[in-house]
């Protein structure tokens, strides 16, 4: 970490730990003065005019050095990072919020935070059917390239992470510092997520669990994601708080209905009455998210509304997408076969298949297989069949 990077992080930490200054106030001050550093050096009079108390102004000038040293020392560990709103890898989804977290502590793959995410949350004491449904949804959606985000709690959260890890990656949002795993039963799961996914939190190293932390964790879960799926939740549960945050943040809210005799279905039914989208299959979620997913999965050429840009009846397809289509026929193929034929990475193939299915170029089949759509149309510029590796 360079000296300038350390100082930039110190400036944000000083703002974040000041008494009476929350994320919304930090965002407003940085917007007013231009940067975290400029806010700290604005002077007492200017800060008072902006509504900053004397105690907070003092904390800006002389922050708790112990807290700062602990955070900076933690960030020197392999796989550890501190992200602030002016960092290039700060999640763009959070940047759209009125009160983005001023500091994020991340263990694992920081790049995942900028990828499209779906939050899956629900009961800590789900039914066996709820657990099975959760794992199936998480595995299916992760296999298509979505990052599954949840809160590491027992029950539905843990099942969502486990299902995602079977075929993709996952993000766990913590209600503790990044060096803690709560509950203790999920320590091994947290280590696995840190290895192949990411752990993220607003709380500094050394901070343990507290009841007041979990609403902030829930707000971060929904804020990172394009939408939130609730699977089994009792009324007034934490999962409904996450769903409420999602709605307030302009995100999609999905709920899976259940038996009227199941108390854990009542929270989902309440959400549906309030306008959440009822879903009973994972493709329904993809259909709702497709306009947003297109922006994440490929870089859209300038002047085009879509990576597969329509031009009359014969669209021109990006070369890599054309290669993948060339590797396909009307007989369903597994993604592993397409990866071997095309030479593309597993992640690229998963993302491309999702987009091509959304655009009507390929069809999905039971068992996770894919084929060209039945009309047999080939896009302009597409090479002859047999252009693949085999």
| 305 pLDDT above the threshold of 50 | no
217 and 235: one domain? yes
Task: Compute the mean pLDDT over every residue in the chain, rounded to the nearest whole number.
Answer: 88
Residues 199-257 pLDDT 10s: 999 999 999 999 999 999 999 999 999 999 999 999 989 999 999 999 999 999 999 99
pLDDT at residue 321, as a whole number: 85
| 382 pLDDT above the threshold of 50 | no
Residue 78 lies in a domain: no
Residue 46 lies in a domain: yes
Percent of the chain with pLDDT over 70: 89
Assign residue 351 the CATH number of its domain. Answer: 1.10.10.10
pLDDT at residue 52, as a whole number: 97
| 259 pLDDT above the threshold of 50 | yes
35 and 60: one domain? yes
| 385 pLDDT above the threshold of 70 | no
CA 134, CA 256: separation in Å to the nearest integer?
10
Position 295 confidence tier, pLDDT thresholds 50, 70, 90: low
Which of 258, 291, 324 is where one domain is finished? 291
113 and 208: one domain? yes
Residue 86 lies in a domain: no
Length of the chain: 390
pLDDT at residue 322, as a whole number: 84
242 and 378: one domain? no
pLDDT at residue 354, as a whole number: 79
Percent of the chain with pLDDT over 90: 73
Residues 267-292 pLDDT 10s: 999 999 999 999 999 989 988 998 88
319 and 231: one domain? no
CA 207, CA 2: separation in Å to the nearest integer?
26
128 and 252: one domain? yes
Residues 52-73 pLDDT 10s: 999 999 999 999 999 999 999 9
Which of 291, 309, 338 is where one domain is finished? 291
pLDDT at residue 387, as a whole number: 42
160 and 278: one domain? yes
Residue 307 lies in a domain: yes
| 6 pLDDT above the threshold of 80 | yes
Count Cβ atoms below 10 Å from residue 352 Cβ, excluding itself: 25
| 106 pLDDT above the threshold of 90 | yes
Residue 70 lies in a domain: no
More confident residue, 376 or 153: 153
Both tokens of 326, joined, read 């060339």
Q: What is the pTM for the complete model shown?
A: 0.78
Domains identified in the chain, total number: 3
Closest among 112, 82, 98 to 26, alpha carbons compared: 98
Mean pLDDT in residue range 352-369: 79
CA 382, CA 293: separation in Å to the nearest integer?
24
Three-state SS for the chain is: CCHHHHHHHHHHHHHHCCCCCCHHHHHHHHHHHCCHHHHHCCCHHHHHHCCCCHHHHHHHHCCCHHHHHHHHHHHCCCCEEEECCCCCCCCHHHHCCCCCCCCEEEEECHHHHHCCEEEEEECCCCCHHHHHHHHHHHHHHHHCCCEEEECCCCCHHHHHHHHHHHHCCEEEECCCCCCCCCCHHHHHHHHHHHHHCEEEECCCCCCCCCCCHHHHHHHHHHHHCCEEEEECCCCCCHHHHHHHHHHHCCCEEEECCCCCCCHHHHHHHHHHHCCCEECCCHHHHHHHHHHHHHHHHCCCCCCCCCCCECCCCCCECCHHHHHHHHCCCCCCECHHHHHHHHCCCHHHHHHHHHHHHHCCCEEEECCCEEEECCCCCCCECCCCCCCCCC
Residue 18 lies in a domain: yes
145 and 270: one domain? yes
321 and 276: one domain? no
274 and 131: one domain? yes
Expressed as residue numbers, the domain containing 32 is 1-64
pLDDT at residue 308, as a whole number: 33
pLDDT at residue 32, as a whole number: 97
Assign residue 262 the CATH number of its domain. Answer: 3.40.50.450
144 and 283: one domain? yes
pLDDT at residue 298, as a whole number: 44
16 and 130: one domain? no
The answer to whether residues 74 and 104 touch, using CB atoms and an 8 Å cutoff, is: no
| 310 pLDDT above the threshold of 60 | no
Residues 163-194 pLDDT 10s: 999 988 999 999 999 999 999 999 999 999 99
Which of 275, 291, 307 is where one domain is finished? 291
Mean pLDDT in residue range 345-358: 79
| 30 pLDDT above the threshold of 50 | yes
pLDDT at residue 365, as a whole number: 82
Residue 90 lies in a domain: no
């Amino acid at each position: 970490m360079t000296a300038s990077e350390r100082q930039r992080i110190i400036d944000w930490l000083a703002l974040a730990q000041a008494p009476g200054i929350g994320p919304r106030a930090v965002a407003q001050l940085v917007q007013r003065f231009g940067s975290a550093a400029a806010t700290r050096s604005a002077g007492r009079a200017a800060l008072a005019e902006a509504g900053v108390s004397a105690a907070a102004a003092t904390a800006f000038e002389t922050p708790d050095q112990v807290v700062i040293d602990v955070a900076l020392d933690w960030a020197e560990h392999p796989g550890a990072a501190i992200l602030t709103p002016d960092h290039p890898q700060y999640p763009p989804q959070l940047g759209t919020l009125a009160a983005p977290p001023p500091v994020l502590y991340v263990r694992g793959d920081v790049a995942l935070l900028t990828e499209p995410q779906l939050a899956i949350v629900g009961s800590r004491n789900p039914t066996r059917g709820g657990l099975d449904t959760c794992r199936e949804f998480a595995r299916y959606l992760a296999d298509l390239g979505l990052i599954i985000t949840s809160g590491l709690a027992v029950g539905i959260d843990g099942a969502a992470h486990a299902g995602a890890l079977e075929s993709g990656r996952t993000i766990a949002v913590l209600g503790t510092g990044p060096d803690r795993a709560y509950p203790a039963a999920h320590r091994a799961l947290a280590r696995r997520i840190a290895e192949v996914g990411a752990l993220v939190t607003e709380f500094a190293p050394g901070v343990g669990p507290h009841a007041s932390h979990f609403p902030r964790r829930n707000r971060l879960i929904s804020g990172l994601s394009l939408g939130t799926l609730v699977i089994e939740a009792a009324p007034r549960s934490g999962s409904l708080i996450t769903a409420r945050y999602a709605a307030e943040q302009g995100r999609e809210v999905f709920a899976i209905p259940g038996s009227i005799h199941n108390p854990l279905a009542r929270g989902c039914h309440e959400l549906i009455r309030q306008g959440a989208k009822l879903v009973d299959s994972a493709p329904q979620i993809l259909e709702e998210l497709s306009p947003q997913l297109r922006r994440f999965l490929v870089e859209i050429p300038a002047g085009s509304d879509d990576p597969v840009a329509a031009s009359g009846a014969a669209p021109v397809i990006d070369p890599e997408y054309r290669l993948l289509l060339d590797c396909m026929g009307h007989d369903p193929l597994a993604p592993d076969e397409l990866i071997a034929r095309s030479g593309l990475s597993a992640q690229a193939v998963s993302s491309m298949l999702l987009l091509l299915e959304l655009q009507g170029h390929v069809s999905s089949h039971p068992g996770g297989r894919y084929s060209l759509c039945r009309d047999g149309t080939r896009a302009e510029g597409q090479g002859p069949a047999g252009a693949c590796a085999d």
